[in-house]
Amino acid sequence: MISIDDLHRALGSFRPVLDAQQRSAVDAAPTTALFIVAGPGTGKTASLTLRILKLVLVDGMAPRGILATTFTKKAAEELRSRVLGWGFRIIDALKADPAISQSQKSFIETIDINQVRTGTIDALCEQLLREFRNPGTQSPVLVDEFVSKTLMLREGLFGSRRDQDPSLDSFLLDLHSESAKPYNYHVGTKAKLVKEIWERRFQDQVVWSQFPTGSAPARQLVSDAHQSYETALRLAGLVDFSLLENEVLLRLRAGQLKDFTEELKVVLVDEYQDTNLMQEQIYFQLAAACSGSLAVVGDDDQSLYRFRGATVDLFRDFPLRYRNQFGRSPSTVFLTNNYRSSQRIVSFVNAYASLDLTYQAVRVASKPALIHGPSATAGLPVVGMFRNTVKELAEDLALLVHAAFRGLGYSIPGGRIQANATGGDVGDCALLCSSPAEFSASGKPRLPLLLRQELASLTPAIQVFNPRGEDTSTVDVVERLGGLLLECLDPNNSLSTQTSGVSQEAQTVFANWRQKAIDFASSASAPPGLVAYAQGWANRDSGRVGYEWPRITTAIELVYGLVHYLPELHNDPEGQVYLEVFMRQLSACQQLGKFEGRIIADPANTGLSEASIKELVRDFLAPIAEGVVDVNEEMMETFPRDRLSILSIHQSKGLEFPLTIVDVGSDFKDLRAPAFKRMPTAGSASHRMEDLLRQHSPLGVPARTQTDRAFDDLFRQFFVAFSRPQDVLLLVGVTPTQPGGRVPNVATGWDRNGVCRWANNLPFVMI
């Protein structure tokens, strides 16, 4: 083992050493419980990483006794690569350090940093059930979101035609919208709501027997729907996220994961502000196995996942809750030195956090403000760009980005926005929005689309990177592959139009796909052999005398057969992402259907043959056409350097960009714009859901009103957005929603009492 000073010296060999606050988190004794409240840019991951390495190198803890979890896959990857990256560099530095003795060096030689367990809590639970399963049992398969949604619809709602029950209908409608407005309320919405109640049952650890069903027929139906859904999952050997975590919690409580817990020495949890009660209980169980060695890191101001059951109170009240469980208090460490942003941005962010008086009550008690780092520059002023229409906004924004990254810079009062001469590119710029979707629900173009078009029209053109916002179904390769699949499976277009449960929207997309595929196959650049291959499939004709077309083939064979003619699907990184969309949905279809992705060609039983095709149309292709299947971001390379990234504020959590553009209101041209996104008049579905279920949970009824919680959530969202930039923060929107404008908006300085605090005291310069 080495000394703590050796460790910090080794870190100093390749990056700045940690500050005093960070060191107090890192250096604490291994069994100390820690409550680390870390504002944005304060080196949260750095401290966590070095603490892990300290436990291994200084305290001699076995790497596999260390468990570090985070909330998102992205953060988990980030933590893992940091632990490995720093670990190897520190080990190298120590080996080269003459002050380290030979016996210490041979100790270091034995360390395998790779054995530290890192990952999301769901990944950990899945791993635990697989690695430590009871002899003779199968570990359950975690279902994909689409599969669980479809099962809730089919088993939960269509089963016993619960979807048609008027009492269930009105019960769910009350949850769906504030004054029971039926807008956008259909059977899919009902399934979603019933599933949300199901998830909250576990997340909030609801005592279901206390949920009053007897006198309330609608509640009984919800309960029945859950039962049918659960049965369907169990029969197929599947679990969803809630069942998975719950199963692990039950096994921990029953002492059935001893093989794992006996090895466990310390638990570290990142993003703890997004934890729910079930997860807290898992962590407490794990910590109990290692004498309470639990360190949690988070920031109450950055809790964004209430809709997924996150309860920020668990973080805020952690010292108390830990004490009640373990009989001692954790040490609280505040990380307040921001190493990300310029001085002006840090003061803007501080001012924003304290803008609304009522918000202060939900923050961690006596939380200090952020302090800019010792080498932070004053920086450029925060900038606001507001235009009369979204179109004008997109034009001017495109010109700004173009001037900053492809021209001579863009002048603003008090400075100039100019790409960093040493390797800056458009990838240093991101547009953060509440949603990156290119079209509104009613099909109107939104800022992400208009900006993409404006940037493309400039010279040289600038591309955007918006994998979540673009419509998957209109991507060239998706159209070709989708169309070819349809033409091969159902050449006469007779089955796909008759398949029940396929929306009109999907039918339109199908027609378009087919046309694109035909055009492609008949074009001069069509790959040789494609037409013959497709016709062989269409006619179910092997093309060889004496060889019959097999009675059973699989959709996978067909997809791979076609991919051969569309090489971009496996050669090109972006193509691979779209091929994965098809493969993932095909596997969902296999889990859901009777035919499990098989294609029957039986002349004696055309009914069966047709049914096998219809299943593929409904569960494999229609969801892709409807845009229900999202691309998998894990497959994406990191943000391309030469494109402007467009992402949701949620996705931006934990990231930083030299130039950050925050869309504070490109959708809000008048008072009809949705209030829940700018100035809530009531709670939304997740707040109503909390009130419905938490009264039967150990959490109890939330202390604040639904409307207050809706405001709190919005302030947190913009707090996250405003704290992403390193050098320049640019707020954009349409004129009516600028500070003091006609459309009130918490992102432009209104507090929840309807007073715009920025109206006469603009904290940014207008351009």
Partner DNA sequence: GAACAGATGGTTTTT
Partner DNA sequence: CCATCTGTTC
Stretch that binds DNA, among 175-183, 337-345, 365-373, 521-529 (CB under 7 A): 175-183
Asked whether position 651 contacts DNA by CB under 7 A, the answer is yes
Find the binder of DNA among 684, 723, 745, 748 (CB under 7 A): 684
**Secondary element (H or E) of residue 267:** strand 266-269
Nearer to DNA, 285 or 303 (CB): 303
**Whole-angstrom Cα distance, residue 766 to residue 735?**
11
648 binds DNA (CB under 7 A): yes
Min. distance of Cβ 222 from DNA in angstroms?
17
What b/e readout covers 90-104, taking b as 16+ CB neighbours within 10 angstroms? bbebbeebeebeeeb
Taking CB under 7 A as the criterion, the residue among 106, 215, 442, 760 binding DNA is 442
Task: Indicate which single residue of 308, 367, 598, 704 sits in contact with DNA (rule: CB under 7 A).
Answer: 308
Sign of CA dihedral 76, 79, 82, 87: negative
Q: Which residue in 73, 323, 584, 704 binds DNA (CB under 7 A)?
A: 73
Least separation, in Å, of the C-beta of 305 and DNA?
A: 7
Query: 326 or 676, CB closer to DNA?
Result: 676
Q: Which residue has the tokens 């794992």?
A: 260
Beta carbon nearer to DNA, 225 or 380: 225
The residues with which 34 forms a beta bridge, in sequence order, are 295, 331
Among 373, 379, 436, 597, binds DNA (CB under 7 A): 436
By DSSP bridging, strand 598-600 and strand 552-554 are antiparallel
Count the helix, strand and coil residues of the chain and give each as a percent rounded to the nearest 5.
50, 10, 40
Token duo for residue 382: 């925060």
Give the range of 304-312, 498-506, 526-534, 598-606 binding DNA by CB under 7 A.
Answer: 304-312
Distances (CA, A) of 489 to 261, 465, 509, 621: 51, 33, 16, 11
Nearest to 313 by CA among 694, 592, 756: 694
Contact between 401 and 463 under an 8 Å Cβ cutoff? The reply is: no
Tokens 């069509």 -> residue: 526
The residue from 139, 220, 256, 435 that contacts DNA (CB under 7 A) is 435
For residue 272, how many other CB atoms are within 10 A of its CB? 29
Among 92, 145, 230, 396, binds DNA (CB under 7 A): 145
The piece of 93-101, 213-221, 677-685, 748-756 that touches DNA (CB under 7 A) is: 677-685
Identity of the residue, 399 or 692, whose beta carbon is nearer to DNA in the bound complex: 692
- CB of residue 455 vs DNA: minimum separation in angstroms? 21
* Count helices and strands in the chain by DSSP H and E runs: 29, 21
Name the minimum Å distance from CB 440 to DNA. Answer: 4
440 binds DNA (CB under 7 A): yes
Closer by beta carbon to DNA, 228 or else 686:
686
Backbone angles phi, psi at 389, to 5 degrees: -130, 160
Min. distance of Cβ 379 from DNA in angstroms?
29
Nearest distance, CB of residue 266 and DNA, angstroms: 21
Q: Element (H or E) spanning 485, and its range? A: helix 476-489
Cβ closest to DNA, residue 466 vs residue 697: 466
Report the residue from 123, 288, 628, 767 that binds DNA according to the rule CB under 7 A.
Answer: 123
Q: Which of 95, 181, 253, 258 binds DNA (CB under 7 A)?
A: 181
Closest to DNA by CB, 177 vs 535, is 177
- Half-sphere exposure of residue 578: CA atoms within 13 angstroms, side-chain side: 26
- Given the rule CB under 7 A, which of 327-335, 438-446, 504-512, 539-547 is the region that contacts DNA? 438-446
Helix 187-203 and helix 685-694, axial crossing angle in degrees, nearest 10:
50
Alpha-carbon distance of 79 to 408, in angstroms, equals: 38
Judged by beta carbon, residue 468 or residue 551, the one nearer DNA is 468
Rounded to the nearest whole angstrom, what is the least distance from the CB of residue 177 to DNA in the complex?
Answer: 4
Query: Least Å distance between CB 207 and DNA?
Result: 22
Identity of the amino acid at 349: V
Alpha-carbon Rg for the chain in angstroms: 28
Task: Please give the full DSSP string across 297-337, using - where no structure is assigned.
Answer: EE-GGG---GGGT--THHHHTHHHHHHHHHSSPPEEEEE-E
Comparison of 176 and 643: residue with beta carbon closer to DNA: 176
The interface with DNA within residues 354-393 (CB under 7 A) comprises: none
- How far does the chain reach from its first CA to its final CA, in angstroms? 58
State the minimum distance, in angstroms, from the CB of residue 718 to DNA. 12
Is the CB of 523 or the CB of 681 nearer to DNA?
681
Q: Which is nearer to DNA, 297 or 484 (CB)?
A: 297
Cα(336)–Cα(372) distance, rounded to whole angstroms?
Answer: 8
The residue among 10 and 624 lying less far from DNA, judged by its C-beta, is: 624
Binding to DNA (CB under 7 A) within 686-745 occurs at 686, 742
Piece of the chain touching DNA by CB under 7 A; list 4-12, 162-170, 320-328, 645-653: 645-653
Dihedrals φ, ψ of 403, to 5°? -65, -40
178 scored as a contact of DNA (CB under 7 A): yes
Structural contact between residues 496 and 617, judged by C-beta atoms closer than 8 angstroms: yes
Note the residue count of the chain: 767
Does 120 interact with DNA (rule: CB under 7 A)? yes
Among residues 725, 629, 630, 721, the alpha carbon closest in space to that of 677 is found at 721
Query: Which range binds DNA by CB under 7 A, 121-129, 211-219, 413-421, 470-478?
Result: 121-129
Q: Total binding residues for DNA by CB under 7 A?
A: 45
CA distance 656 to 680: 28
Cβ(224)–Cβ(160) below 8 Å: yes
Lay out the site mask for DNA across 52-71 (x = CB under 7 A, - = otherwise).
Answer: -------------------x
- The residue within the footprint of DNA, chosen from 183, 528, 545, 604 (CB under 7 A), is 183
How far, in Å, CA of 502 to CA of 216, rounded?
34
- Binding of DNA by 122 (CB under 7 A): yes
Beta partners for residue 66, in sequence order:
266
CB neighbourhood size of 216 (10 A) = 14
Strand duo 643-648 + 429-433: pairing: parallel
Selected range binding DNA among 564-572, 573-581, 664-672, 723-731, rule: CB under 7 A? 664-672
Does 672 help bind DNA (rule: CB under 7 A)?
yes
- Residue 617 tokens read as 């149309």
Residues 32 and 375: their CA atoms lie apart, in Å, by 32
Q: Of 149 and 402, which has the nearer Cβ to DNA?
A: 149
Q: Of residues 157, 194, 249, 304, which one binds DNA by CB under 7 A?
A: 304
DSSP state, 630? Answer: P
Any contact of residue 307 with DNA (CB under 7 A)? yes
Scanning 57-65, 90-98, 182-190, 218-226 for contacts with DNA by CB under 7 A, the matching segment is 182-190
CA-to-CA distance for 336 and 349, rounded, in angstroms?
Answer: 13
Nearest approach in angstroms of CB 306 to DNA is: 8
Residue 674 near DNA by CB under 7 A: yes
CB of residue 720 vs DNA: minimum separation in angstroms? Answer: 11
- Interface stretch with DNA, choices 384-392, 608-616, 620-628, 670-678 (CB under 7 A): 670-678
Q: Taking the mean position of all CA atoms in its chain, how far away is CA 63?
A: 28
User: Under 8 Å CB-to-CB from 500, ≥6 apart: which residues?
Assistant: 618
CB 396 within 8 A of CB 385: yes
CB of residue 434 to DNA, shortest distance in Å: 6
Q: How far is the CB of 172 from DNA (least distance, A)?
A: 11
**The amino acid at 268:** L
* Contacting positions for DNA (CB under 7 A): 71-74, 120-123, 145, 176-178, 181-184, 241, 304-305, 307-308, 434-437, 440-442, 444, 468, 648, 650-651, 667, 670-674, 676-677, 684-686, 742
